[in-house]
Structure 1
Amino acid sequence: MNGSYGDSTRSLKAVASETVPGEPIGPTPVPAAAYHLSADEDDALDSYGRRHNPTWRQMEAALARLEGATTALAFGSGMAAITSLLRVVAEPGTTLVVPADGYYQVRAYATEYLAPRGVSVVQAHSGQMCEAARDADVVLAETPANPGLDVVDLHRLSMLCRPRGAVLIVDNTTATPLGQQPLSLGADVVVASATKALAGHHDLLAGYVAGNRADILDRLERERLLAGPILGAFEAWLVLRGLATFGLRYERQCQNAAALALMLRSHPAVTTVRYPGLPDDPSHAVAAQQMRRFGGIVSVELADADAVHRLVDRSDLLVGATSFGGVHTSVDRRARWGDAVPAGFARISCGIEDTEDLLADIESALGGPGR
């Protein structure tokens, strides 16, 4: 693919099919149904829908292009992708570092399922990730971290992992491949939830793993075949549909987030604002070095839980939802899920609304009693 293309062109080209007269111009789903077997009994391609699938292959090729990887593997959800990968690389007797300030269910899986099987699990906040990695065999970094948006220095982290042979996994869900390229910064493998900004329409669950290390990805493909955490063919087609507009959607989401962060920083109802794109954000210096865009998520702290609920209730545009990255701007009070954040902490995932409309709506919704 032409490296000089812009993000919308790259996203569209990633899902484009070879031109064949008489065939549709866009990808169409191929169901994971019964397949005709080849007379060559060594040819296992498309013999069974849990092993291979034509729609998977098109989706995986598109994701590999966007992530700068040789291979991508589709999974039924982001958690299916992460847990399958961890089962492959975090073997009994190894030390695994997971984010203490990242997605809470990853920590839960590591402590509830991997630790009892002989994996030494270390939880480290983003700022301590490099120090924790010095004695680890596998390091999983999520950057920007969800929901606090702290950023891990991936180049520095990779320089600590690579000489020792430690596997560095980067969860790229928040940044997306249009905001950050972890493999180019030294990561061994990228994992992400395609449920969020990539698919982008709040209507499916999907995940993927991408990378250049055949030794890991071959084992992971075998794990997927045997354990079965697969993605449906129709859901894979929906991801392809979403990828075609990914560049346009993500550009507007980032634009909205940057404008919203600036507005909220001076609003009297807001205690704190976190957004890596703000010049005075604690993570800005590192983010500016490794991120092409700063993402569509803004984290804020309001007075209390009721203030977060009032924000949603008084708004005409905001929706309360725990998933993020979709076309609608959503708000999630993270303390309800057990995150170690104040009661009034909220993650705002910006959608594709017109920027001026979104800012006016949120500013009005943050107004005093009776508004």
Structure 2
Amino acid sequence: MSRDGSYGDGTRSVHAGLPAPEPGQPFLPGPVFAAPYHLDPTTGPGRDGYGRPDNPTRRRLEAAIGELEGGDARAFASGQAAVTAVLMTVLRPGDTVLLPADGYYAVRSFAASTLDGLGVRAAYAPTAGPYPSFDGVRLVLLETPSNPGLDVCDVAALSAAAKAAGALVAVDNTTATPLGQRPLDLGADISVASGTKALTGHSDLLLGYAATRDATLLERITTWRNQTGGIPGAFDAWLAHRSLATLDLRLARQSANAAAVAVALAARSDVERVRWPGLPDDPSYVVAERQMRRIPGLVSIDLGSAERVAAFLKASKLVFAATSFGGLHTSADRRAQWGDDTPPGFLRISCGIEDTADLVADITAALDAT
């Protein structure tokens, strides 16, 4: 426990969202599936009347995420469903939204395919800046650290500037997780994320969430979700809540592995560029050190060509080729194959929880073999 009486990350992760202890009951009750609920024959539907808007298992997960983010949370079926809900809830025809030019490509695709047709103008700025004037902007969406480039922006400074211009600020917190940074504490109006990645960390479910301290925004986001139906299943919600208990432990090993891998790769002449915000010479180091409570387990590198990336992944025994990240197993993804605006040899490595020495040795041997 800290001097101010608050619990540490590990304790908060283990106990977040659990019901009060009750003899004979499990610590985390099993999932309540979306079967029909019994209704009161006199008063009709109450809190749990229908599975889409109501589910006790999902509420426990939302309480847990809310505790970690420092706001009220609503869970969604995926991260894309969550960020889409934020965009569609806040924006109206004639509005302008500022999006990260180097963020998750599916958000830019949604802006081009859907928002533009609704009369919403999308402008873009790289995460590291420079940023245009926020005058006339309705919503600023930040993604920090950015995926996959791992640039970091100053959330507090940008939130203050945006609010002075009358804009709302949402932060994609997928890469950092709420143990890495709390956007709401830094001045953002909404924290939105994919829980599929490091938050749940076992590569076995799809999940998203949006968290806010603004009651009006929360009500609008909740209404959007209930009316469009993008809810997570009860078992996915239960799996996610179960997984939160080890979040602090997982992130600690992933970050330590990323630090060791980044140092080892930066020392090699056959790796063109290494990005990890925890390296002192990384362009994002100063802001990351000031803003983030821990640096995530992602390392981005450039191996020069798609052919060398393929050869590296074939030679490695511990690094799996996969597009998701934040799991227990180390994985890597050549982002250009998905349409990301990255060089052909750009590779995002997601460090798992393997022994650090084993992982560094494997990656080094695989690079030597190529």
What TM-score does the superposition give when structure 2 sets the normalisation length? 0.96
Are 2:314 and 1:313 aligned?
A: yes
Residues matched between the structures, number: 368
Task: Output one character per residue of 1:324-371: Cα deviation in whole Å (capped at 9) or x when no partner.
Answer: 0000000000111111111110000010001111001100110045xx
Report the residue type matching 2:12 in the other structure.
R
- Counterpart CA distance in 2 for 1:47 and 1:129 is 49
Taking a change above 3 Å as real, the CA distance of residues 57 and 129 of structure 1, as seen in their structure-2 partners, is: farther
Deviates more, 1:284-293 or 1:129-138: 129-138
Could you say which residue in structure 2 is the equivalent of 1:44?
46
Q: Is structure 2 residue 303 aligned with structure 1 residue 302?
A: yes
The equivalences for 1:1-371 within 5 A come to 4-39=6-41, 41=43, 44-69=46-71, 71-128=72-129, 130-369=131-370
Describe the shift of the 1:273–1:239 C-alpha distance in structure 2 as closer, same or farther (beyond 3 A). same
Is there any run of 5+ residues in structure 1 with no aligned partner, and where?
none
Query: Aligned-pair distance for 1:42?
Result: 7.1
Aligned partners of 1:239, 1:55: CA distance in 2, in Å? Answer: 10
CA offsets per residue over residues 81-122 of structure 1, 9 Å max, x none? 010111010111110011110000000001110111010111
Matches of 1:58 and 1:203, distance apart in 2: 19
| Secondary structure of 2:142's aligned partner | strand
Cα distance between partner residues in 1 of 2:334 and 2:6: 40
How far apart, in 1, do the equivalents of 2:130 and 2:217 lie?
Answer: 22
Calculate percent identity across the aligned residue pairs. 53
277-286 vs 17-26, which deviates more? 17-26
What letter matches 2:194 in structure 1? Answer: S
The answer for unaligned runs of 5 or more in structure 2 is: none
Tell me: CA distance 1:15–1:244, structure 2 relative to 1, closer, same or farther (3 Å): farther
Contact 2:195/2:208 (8 A) holds in 1: yes
Local SS of the residue matching 2:134: helix
Deviation, structure 1 residue 247: 1.0
Q: Given the superposition, is the C-alpha separation of residues 35 and 289 from structure 1 closer, same or farther in structure 2, using an over 3 Å criterion?
A: same
Q: Is the 8 A contact 2:17 2:62 kept in 1?
A: no
2:333·2:348 contact (CA, 8 Å) conserved in 1? yes
Contact 1:15 1:244 in 2 (8 A): no
